[in-house]
Amino acid sequence: MSTLYVTLQGSRLEKEYKRLLVTKNDEIVMRIPIQRVSEVVLVGRVGVTTPALYSLLNNGVSFLLVSRTGKLRGRLQPPTDLNLPLRQKQFQLNDSPDFSLDLSRQIVHGKIHNQRIYALRLARQQEQIIESHEKKLCELIKKTREASSIEELMGIEGSAAKMYFSVYRRGFEPFWKFENRNRRPPRDPINALLSLGYTFLGHAIFSALEVVGLDPYLGYFHAEKYGRPALVLDLIEEFRVPIVDSLIFSMINREILKPDDFEYPTDTKNVVLSSKGLGIFLSQFSQKLETAITVRSIGRSLTYRKIFELQARNLANTIQGKTPQYIPFRMR
């Protein structure tokens, strides 16, 4: 099952027997059996009927309202049984500096490992051998094992990100003006896509953590701030490169998205996708999440969406002491 993203501005989500309808001006734009949907995301100015909401809840389908930049406006979740013993243990270990540091080392290690693997892949594609970058990333990976504090790990992560993006940006033509990673607001189309992709990735991770019974707001590497899902930010790190970065690189270089798919509002410094571009991006993003790959630890293929849930369960097992150490998702 997949996520249904409804991006057509002015449209409405309705119910017809066992199907969901997307309509606009009383015309049916899309029909989809509700059994094929695990989550519904309405993006921007999109409405929904009460019967459609009841149908989603009765079928165990979560429902999100987000802005066109991906900002969460609200979430409607079917009733679930909270795993109170798991959450109690999650909260207890949040007060353990040793557990938080050990888990954070694994999180940063997994992120930099994936950055290194993908940077090498890009270097081969571009026929560029950037030995100094690769060597530096290797050194930073080793340093994660020796880090004595969360603050030190954050410094290591920042150095790795700077090194990684200096390679990543070389894969885009100069007219995209992608010179470095920037956000709030993103000042070029590539940064706009990265921010948008990480945001929607976070929504998917949030759902996986809730399915497992973990509290998405109590993390270990990222500090808790009011309203910020810190555990989502922890788990998202190992998936930024294989999900978002690789997808954006492919979409841009295969010209699935083009410069005229972006808008530059005169009243802000933001760069945003047009309605057409947003629809293309979310369609590609959904396909990415439903891509199946072989997971060596279990010896079978899973979609990335299922891998999110697998990693959330692995994290839960680590918190409960069922496994000695959390192992992040690593690219090959």
Q: Provide the 10 A C-beta neighbour count for residue 122.
A: 20
Q: Total structural domains in the chain?
A: 2
pLDDT band at 332 (very low <50, low <70, confident <90, very high): confident
Is residue 316 within 8 Å of 212, Cβ to Cβ? yes
What values do phi and psi take at 23, rounded to 5?
A: -125, 155
Asked whether residue 316 carries a pLDDT value surpassing 60, the answer given is yes
Query: Is residue 80 predicted with pLDDT exceeding 90?
Result: no
Q: Are residues 121 and 189 in the same domain?
A: yes
Is position 331 within any domain?
no
Q: Is 259 part of any domain?
A: yes
pLDDT tens sequence across 16-37: 888 999 999 889 998 999 988 8
Query: How do residues 49-61 score in pLDDT, each as one tens digit?
Result: 999 999 999 988 8
Give the predicted TM-score (pTM) of the model: 0.90
* Residues with Cβ within 8 Å of residue 78, at least 6 apart in sequence: 56, 57, 60, 61, 62
- Strand 27-33: give its sheet, edge to edge: 27-33, 19-24, 12-16, 47-48
Q: 48-71 burial, b if ≥16 CB within 10 A, otherwise e?
A: beeebbebbeeeebbbbbbebbbe
Report the CATH number that the domain containing residue 68 is assigned in CATH: 3.100.10.20
Residues 101 and 175 in one domain: yes
Residue 332 lies in a domain: no
287 part of a folded domain: yes
Element containing residue 4 per DSSP (H, E): strand 2-6
Grade residue 181 by pLDDT with cuts at 50, 70 and 90: confident
Regarding whether 300 and 157 lie in a shared domain, the answer is yes
How big is the CA angle at 91 (ends 87 and 96), to the nearest 5 degrees?
A: 140
Across the chain, mean pLDDT equals 89
CA pair distance 152, 143, nearest whole angstrom: 9
pLDDT at 127: 56
pLDDT tens digit sequence for 188-218: 899 999 999 999 999 999 999 988 999 999 9
129 & 222 share domain: yes
Q: Is residue 329 part of a domain?
A: no
Q: Is 28 helix (H, G, I), strand (E, B) or coil?
A: strand
Give the model's pLDDT for residue 99: 95
Residues 28 and 112 in one domain: no
Q: Going by DSSP bridges, is the β-strand pair 62-66/47-48 parallel, antiparallel, or unpaired?
A: unpaired
Same domain, 138 and 280: yes
CATH number at residue 166: 1.20.120.920
pLDDT of residue 113: 95
Question: Do 61 and 21 have their domain in common?
Answer: yes
Q: Is the peptide bond before 185 cis (omega within 30 degrees of 0)?
A: yes
Q: How far apart are CA 236 and CA 143, in angstroms?
A: 21
C-beta separation of 313 from 30 below 8 A: no
Does residue 10 sit in the same domain as residue 53?
Answer: yes
Tokens of 61: 């389908």
- Is position 204 within any domain? yes
Residue 130 lies in a domain: yes
Report phi then psi at 138, rounded to 5.
Answer: -60, -45
Domain boundary among 27, 55, 76: 76
Q: Are residues 101 and 239 in the same domain?
A: yes
Instruction: Tell me the Ramachandran region of residue 215: left when phi exceeds 0, alpha when psi lies from -120 to 50, beta otherwise.
Output: beta
Could you tell me if 273 and 179 lie in one domain? Answer: yes
Find the mean pLDDT for residues 246-273.
87
What are the φ and ψ backbone dihedral angles of 7, each rounded to 5 degrees?
Answer: -115, -10
Please report the pLDDT score of residue 236 as a whole number.
Answer: 96
Q: What was the pLDDT predicted at 38?
A: 86
Domain match, 283 and 313 both: yes
User: How far apart are the C-alpha atoms of 26 and 12, rounded to whole Å?
Assistant: 9
- Cα–Cα distance for residue pair 136/142, rounded to 1 Å: 10
Q: What is the pLDDT of residues 128-180, one digit of tens each?
A: 556 667 788 889 999 999 899 999 999 999 999 998 988 888 888 888 888 88
Structural domain boundaries, residue 204: 84-319
User: Which of residues 14, 46, 76 is at a domain's end?
Assistant: 76
Question: Is the residue at 155 inside a domain?
Answer: yes
pLDDT category of residue 251 using cuts at 50, 70 and 90? very high
pLDDT band at 40 (very low <50, low <70, confident <90, very high): very high
Q: How far is CA 187 from CA 74, 78, 103, 176, 183, in A?
A: 27, 38, 33, 11, 7
Domain endpoint, select from 76, 111, 138: 76
Query: Do 143 and 43 share a structural domain?
Result: no
76-93 average pLDDT score: 85
pLDDT in tens, 282-307: 999 999 999 999 888 888 899 999 99
